[in-house]
Amino acid sequence: MGIVLLWLHIVTGIVSLTLSWLLWWQPAAPGRTAVALLMLAVAVWSAAYGAELASADAASIRFWLHIEYLGIATAPVCWFAFAVQYSGHGSWLTPHRLAALGAIPATTILLNLTNRWHHWYYAAITVDRSGPLPLAALRPGPWYWVHMAYAMALMVLGTVALARMWQHTARLYHPHMWVLVAGVCLPLGVNLAYLAGLRPFGHLDLTPLAITVTGGLIYWGVFRFHLFSVVPIARNVLFEQLHDAVLVLDQHDRVVDLNRGAEGVLGLSLAAAVGRPRAEILAPWPALARVDARAPVCQVELPGAQRAVFEVRLIELAGRRGDGGAMLVLHDITAQKALEAERELLIDQLNTLATTDGLTGLLNRRSFLERAEAAWERAASARTPVAVLLLDLDHFKAINDCYGHLVGDRVLRAVGQCCQQLLAEPDLVGRYGGEEFAVILEPESAESVLATAEQLRARIAALVIPGCGAGLRVTASIGVALGLPPLDTLTETIHQADLALYAAKEHGRDQVQSADSAGGFTLAAVGAWRIGRW
């Protein structure tokens, strides 16, 4: 039996060393280096312990005991480092903290090497020859218990870190966690039994064997569950740090989880929401409760101190056994909506600048002509006439010279307002030039065109310009032409109105003239209009 135990520890050391080498060459992943070093420490421990079992005298036993502690003292630190890194907290292990974690193991190794002079670690070391193999009978000193308490604390803390990770990890990764938890519980239990005096083989310590089994389980996990190539992404690393609000629903539409984003947006707590139907906890927001697979995307505005707009998505989750649920994801698009509103406002402003005269607020020449062409095409389709009015302010240069350009601007604005007040849709009015205005009318009769032009002239003549008193009198000359689309073009009709405008100027200004020098429209045009044939 003794020979079997001897060779078992030697084989354990070889297996642990092999596991260390294999784990070291796995692809880089959190915890890989730490667990490889753990297996190296166990290899040193097991091999030295096997050599100790093969020793017959106290001096040889003490020598191999010193070698064992190179692995015994460092193994708990390696385990703790692995658990911290694998659970997603590797940034905590700074070089300074690693040095602090290694302070007690380094002291343990030093005190063990110098134990014969102070007996702080072992109060006494004797050889027990009552069994098939000579075994070291060790009486602990004060530092031995410091080392044991520290080692147990690191093992337990590492296990707690993995357990917390298991608690907050998706079911897909639970087999990974079971491998790790089972692996660490075995050596912990064996070591605690040894310290409690439950030793079926006397002073023989089976902890190295148990840790080697742990290494085997981890290595099996590497190939079976891809332990290091598919590292479980812990809930608090990904789920909690999402900027979006997320609710996880089961197949019965009950809430099973939600992140901090959802707690903040909806004012819910995880404890109060879990297990309750979605329709119940989202009752204040009916639109959220109505989102389903038939309409998985919508936009919802949630009231609050600052009204927020969210894009809501329902993402179905397929379970392995057909027990999948869904995720309700609320993505805050308030800033995006504000940018869109600003963009639309900017486009409107740019469009206004591109189409509007900045002084009078009327259409500028380019925009007026574009809309006039559209009106001309509509009239051509409907076989209806279109009238063009060109209006020019009389002696406007003299107004600028006598009163200044500020007053001239007031005159232009007043005339523009006068035109807007008299005319209505679908009529068009625009600033055609410096002091020249253009109007497009869709008249009911030839007489109504001349009446509208005369009414406009009279209103302009009655204008009172603010700040100028009664001494400033504004008048306008107006030329009118009638076009019959598609027989006439817009350009031709404007030219005819321009000729009529010059005729009004030549006949004394402050009057209306039509394209016919006789003072009315051409008889052919009026006749064609009245009988509806052109």
* Protein fold of 356-531: Alpha-Beta Plaits (3.30.70)
Identify the three-state secondary structure at position 313. Answer: strand
> What's the chain's Rg over C-alpha atoms?
47
- Backbone region of residue 388 per phi and psi (left: phi > 0; alpha: psi in -120 to 50; beta: other values): beta
DSSP 140: E
Structure tokens at 40: 């190296």
Predicted TM-score of the model (pTM): 0.46
Contact 478, 497 (CB under 8 A): no
Amino acid at 50: G
- Strand-pairing partners, residue 330, are 245, 312
For the residues of 93-138, what is the DSSP string, one character each?
--HHHHHHHTHHHHHHHHHHHTHHHH-SSEEEEEEE-SSSS-EEEE
Residue span(s) of the chain under CATH 3.30.450.20 come to 245-336
pLDDT of residue 525: 52
Residue span(s) of the chain under CATH 1.20.1070.10 come to 2-224
pLDDT one digit per residue (tens) for the chain, 534 residues: 446 556 666 676 677 677 677 767 766 666 778 878 887 887 888 778 777 777 778 788 888 888 888 988 888 898 899 888 877 777 788 889 989 999 999 999 999 999 989 989 888 877 777 766 677 777 889 998 898 899 889 888 887 887 776 665 555 456 666 666 666 667 666 766 665 556 566 556 676 667 667 666 766 665 555 555 544 544 555 565 677 888 888 778 888 778 888 888 888 887 788 778 888 888 888 878 778 766 667 777 776 546 788 888 888 876 544 456 788 888 888 888 888 888 888 888 888 788 889 899 999 999 999 999 999 999 999 888 999 999 999 999 988 888 888 999 999 999 999 999 998 888 899 999 999 999 999 887 778 899 999 999 999 999 888 767 666 889 999 999 999 898 899 999 999 999 999 999 999 999 999 986 434 454 345 445 544 545
Structure tokens at 319: 């379970």
User: Which CATH number is associated with domain 245-336?
Assistant: 3.30.450.20
List strand residue ranges (DSSP E) for 379-435, in order: 386-393, 428-431
pLDDT of residue 530: 44
Residue span(s) of the chain under CATH 3.30.70.270 come to 356-531
Domain 2-224 has CATH 3.40.220.10: no
